[in-house]
């Protein structure tokens, strides 16, 4: 079984997204252990505050990630590797019996401290989404990947 953690900077405020994400996470329970961990975002008011905010968020992320092997961590980034659904399922399948952490940055993205770690990057799309939308798409794609791995008729 795969132990999957979604580590996200910030929470989901919109009830529509909360409900949809919760539904996918419920559907995943028979197939894998998934946890969602939220880190509080840093506030910023000016451009000069943005670098400091990203650095503080990076410190929080790295502090949480200390308990994981480096090869268990994947960051979601627009410049990351694009997978189709079958390819993403294969990635998850390759992690069976291991830990996997998918990290979603804050509204400003990741600080340089995160990029310097060399974590593999995954892109959900070349389009830009709100963080709430990205969490929903990620939850759906994890569910889709699991159903592909299990041979279920969800992905055609």
The residues, any chain, with a CB within 8 Å of residue 90's CB and separated by 6 or more, are none
What CATH number is associated with residue 73?
Answer: 3.40.1280.10
Q: What domain count does the chain have?
A: 1
Question: DSSP readout, 17-52?
Answer: HHHHHHHHHHHHTTT-EEEEEEEPPPP--SHHHHHH
- Residue 106's φ and ψ, nearest 5 degrees, are -80, -175
Q: Is residue 17 part of a domain?
A: yes
Q: Is residue 73 part of a domain?
A: yes
Q: Is residue 66 part of a domain?
A: yes
Measured CA to CA, the distance from residue 56 to residue 24 in angstroms comes to 31
pTM value? 0.94
Please write the tens of the pLDDT for every residue from 106-120. 988 998 999 999 999
Q: What is the pLDDT of residue 156?
A: 60
Please write the tens of the pLDDT for every residue from 23-39. 999 999 999 999 999 99
Domain boundaries, position 96: 3-150
Q: Is residue 143 part of a domain?
A: yes
Residue 41 CB coordination number (10 Å): 19
């Amino acid at each position: 079984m795969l132990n999957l953690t979604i580590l996200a900077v910030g929470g989901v405020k919109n009830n529509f997204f909360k409900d949809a994400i919760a539904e996918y996470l419920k559907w995943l329970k028979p197939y894998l252990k998934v946890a969602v961990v939220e880190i509080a975002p840093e506030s910023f008011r000016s451009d000069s505050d943005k670098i400091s905010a990203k650095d503080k968020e990076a410190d929080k992320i790295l502090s949480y990630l200390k308990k994981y092997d480096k090869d268990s961590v994947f960051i979601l980034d627009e410049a990351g590797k694009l997978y189709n659904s079958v390819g993403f399922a294969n990635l998850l399948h390759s992690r069976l019996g291991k830990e996997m952490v998918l990290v979603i940055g804050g509204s400003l993205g990741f600080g340089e401290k995160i990029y310097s770690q060399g974590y593999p990057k995954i892109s959900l799309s070349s389009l830009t989404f709100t963080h709430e939308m990205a969490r929903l798409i990620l939850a759906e794609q994890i569910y889709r990947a699991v159903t592909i791995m299990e041979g279920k008729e969800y992905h055609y």
